[in-house]
Structure 1
């Protein structure tokens, strides 16, 4: 690879990572169709699972990077399917707390099982050192991105 090509690759790296992320989500969406959940549904379920029951709706929206009204529409659908429950926060009646139902927990188990199988399939051809190297790179890149966001905010 020439120096000129290395520069072009570096300039396109974040674009390519974004493209890779979109393609990964398309694969996941296809895999989850059999479960009857879309991108709009499985992401909040997984975030709620990882954040824990009883989180505030606004915290879930922040974690997902979406606006409150958008999340409200998604949650209404998840509640109608019996996957999530919404309740009032006793300390702040305006705030809403979210909990996975037993059916929602089962769905999360099915989702994480499919994700795990797909990850295994995709990463099977890569060595442990390669995976560790890219993981370390992504962690450093995330840190730099956070620094940049903080600097730009203020």
Structure 2
């Protein structure tokens, strides 16, 4: 028989959705201040650890539709934040990577987001356990 406290708590999905909405609302002004959309930031973060071999590879890694990713990549390239260079091993494929300015911008946005997250995490009684559990469950 389930514990009464266990049956009276909100479902995990409901709690995660409320937290997700709160985090998105917190991040939106930060992204606007830096002049990027959420998807542009996701792309910059997806390329942070090294180049991606092909747009389809990046799209799969970040959970984006590859056809909807093209205008985002075009904009980031036009702004000098990413490069799309031919792959020497296969000239039909483009290697996607951050420029130094793209790396700087991604780091600045992430620092601002992490600072804002700290304010939210102050409300958690055991923030380290929360962040660890969230990381484990989101893999």
TM bracket (short chain): 0.7 to 0.9
Q: How many residues align?
A: 138
So what's the TM-score if we normalise by structure 1? 0.76
Please give the root-mean-square deviation of Cα atoms over the aligned residues, in Å.
2.3
- The answer for the alignment partner of 1:29 in structure 2 is 28
**Tell me, what secondary structure is at the counterpart of 2:93?**
strand
- 28-37 vs 17-26, greater mean Cα deviation: 17-26
1:86 is matched with which residue: 84, 87, 110?
Answer: 84
Partner of 1:42, secondary structure, is helix
String of CA shifts for 1:111-152, please: whole Å, max 9, x gaps.
Answer: 12202211222223445xx12322343345346xxxxxxxxx
- Taking the aligned partners of 2:12 and 2:118, their CA distance within structure 1 comes to 24
Name the structure, 1 or 2, with higher relative contact order (CA <8 Å, separation 6+).
2
Q: 109, 112, 118: which one pairs with 2:110?
A: 112
Query: Runs ≥4 in structure 1, deviation > 4 angstroms?
Result: 2-5
1:60 match: 58
**Structure 2: gaps (5+ residues):** none
User: C-alpha distance in 2, partners of 1:90/1:55?
Assistant: 11
1:29–1:86 distance in 2 versus 1, CA, 3 Å = same
What TM-score do you get using the length of structure 2 for normalisation?
A: 0.83
The more displaced of 82-91 and 18-27 is 18-27
> Which runs of 5 or more structure 1 residues have no equivalent in the other structure?
144-154
Higher helix share: 1
